[in-house]
Amino acid sequence: DIQMTQSPSSLPASLGERVTISCRASQGISNNLNWYQQKPDGTIKPLIYYTSNLQSGVPSRFSGSGSGTDYSLTISSLEPEDFAMYYCQQDASFPTFGAGTKLELK
């Protein structure tokens, strides 16, 4: 199985701040990396697929990048609705998720 190491596990930040969440795979995943947002009520929303492609309706302040084993999600200017959990997921093989990053208001 491909292991996904996500960091940080917790990220205090302020409104308007730029933040980056990282995800490292235990082996190369050829850009097969997706990002999801989970709100406190459990609702899960796909954000980015195949490293850098925004899902329809996702604001342009979200972006993704990376290659090989290292990937990242960046939010350019935090809005109130962005404070949530974020998960990376690889689908180069049987899907596995990172442990999550809790983006919280500083």
Output 76 or 96, the one with its CB closest to other proteins.
96
**Could you tell me the smallest distance in angstroms from the CB atom of residue 59 to other proteins?**
17
Structure tokens at 69: 């084993």
By CB atoms closer than 10 A (0-12, 13-18, 19+), residue 27 is exposed
Provide the residue type at 46 as one letter: P
The answer for residues whose C-beta is within 8 angstroms of residue 5's C-beta and 6 or more apart is: 23, 24, 25, 26, 98, 99
* Residue selected from 21, 23, 25, 36 as contacting other proteins according to rule CB under 8 A: 36
* Residue selected from 31, 34, 51, 72 as contacting other proteins according to rule CB under 8 A: 34
* Residue selected from 19, 21, 25, 49 as contacting other proteins according to rule CB under 8 A: 49
- By CB under 8 A, residue 94 contacts other proteins: yes
Binding stretches for other proteins (CB under 8 A):
1, 34, 36, 42-46, 49-50, 55, 87, 89, 91, 94-100
